């Protein structure tokens, strides 16, 4: 069985990390699939997804500071839209995460959450969730 759904994320700042764990789990639950995998994907070139700590709000801030150090905005970038650093950060982090699903629940570590990373906001974005697996026997 497969189930495909999506939801909207609205960022309010240029760089913003938004915890989407609850939204993804809600779509997994709605799918009725109990055992399998869940793929979460963003079809945007200046937004990404990652798994990281969701307990300490300083972690996303620190990781974004590190990404800004690795890929700062630079005058010599040629891309006319002026968001080459956002494209680079998206490439470094990635556009999808794949999670194991067991007993209808996303298998995450104690401190892990699913983060939508905005690098060129504020924007309205789509997040796709595909669940593949088996529904429980009736």
**In the chain, pLDDT over 90 holds for what percent of residues?**
83
pLDDT tens for 38-71 read 999 999 999 999 999 999 999 999 999 999 899 8
Mean pLDDT of the chain: 93
pLDDT, residue 65, reads 94
- CB neighbour list of residue 5: distance below 8 Å, 6 or more residues apart: 27, 30, 31, 128, 129
Cβ distance 34 to 131 under 8 Å? Answer: no
Of 6, 88, 12, 72, the residue nearest 42 (C-alpha): 6
Q: How far is CA 10 from CA 16, 18, 50, 125, in A?
A: 10, 9, 17, 6
Q: State mean pLDDT over 102-120.
A: 97
Rounded Cα distance, 117 and 86, in Å: 10
Q: Which residue has the tokens 């609850």?
A: 22
Query: What is the pLDDT confidence band of residue 79, given thresholds at 50, 70 and 90?
Result: low
Domains and CATH numbers, the chain: 2-73+81-134 (2.60.120.460)
Query: What is the pLDDT confidence band of residue 138, given thresholds at 50, 70 and 90?
Result: confident
Comparing 78 with 37, the larger pLDDT belongs to 37
Cβ distance 97 to 21 under 8 Å? Answer: no
pTM, two decimal places: 0.92
- Secondary structure element (H or E) that encloses residue 9, with its range: strand 2-10
Rounded Cα distance, 122 and 60, in Å: 17
């Amino acid at each position: 069985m497969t189930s495909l759904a999506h939801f909207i994320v609205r960022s309010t700042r240029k760089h913003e990390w938004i915890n989407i764990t609850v939204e993804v789990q809600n779509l997994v639950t709605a799918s009725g699939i109990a055992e399998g995998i869940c793929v979460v994907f963003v079809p945007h070139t200046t937004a990404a997804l990652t798994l990281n700590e969701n307990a300490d709000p300083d972690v996303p801030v620190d990781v974004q500071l590190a990404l800004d150090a690795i890929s700062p905005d630079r005058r010599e970038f040629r891309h006319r839209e002026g968001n080459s650093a956002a494209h680079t950060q998206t490439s470094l982090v990635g556009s999808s995460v794949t999670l194991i699903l067991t007993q209808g629940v996303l298998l995450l570590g104690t401190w892990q959450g699913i983060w939508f990373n905005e690098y060129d906001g504020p924007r309205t974005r789509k997040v796709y969730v595909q669940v593949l697996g088996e529904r429980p026997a009736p």
